[in-house]
Amino acid sequence: MALEIKKEWCKGCGICVHFCPKKVLVLDELGKIFTRDIDKCVECGLCELRCPDFCFTLRKGKGEKVS
């Protein structure tokens, strides 16, 4: 699986940072989301579920969306 992030859609609300159980997501100096250590991501999908700007997509295989 892979976590896709559309950083340009991020408004910097920090909701995803708050809900990330492994603290993989952080806001940069411009207030945009980025991953600190993607290898620690457990692909729980909370960022995708909670993001009001739809910045995240959790995908598996060849473009198949995780349901």
28-60 pLDDT, tens digit each: 999 999 999 889 999 999 999 999 999 999 987
Architecture of the domain made up of 2-65: 2-Layer Sandwich (3.30)
Element of type H or E holding 49: helix 46-50
- pLDDT score of 1: 72
- pLDDT score of 11: 96
DSSP reduced 3-state for 14: coil
pLDDT, tens only, 52-61: 999 999 987 6
Residue 67 clears pLDDT 80, i.e. is over it: no
Query: At residue 64, what are phi and psi to the nearest 5 degrees?
Result: -85, 125
Which residues fall within 8 angstroms of residue 45, CB to CB, at 6 or more apart? 58, 66
Helices (H), 1-67: 15-19, 46-50
CA distance 40 to 63: 22
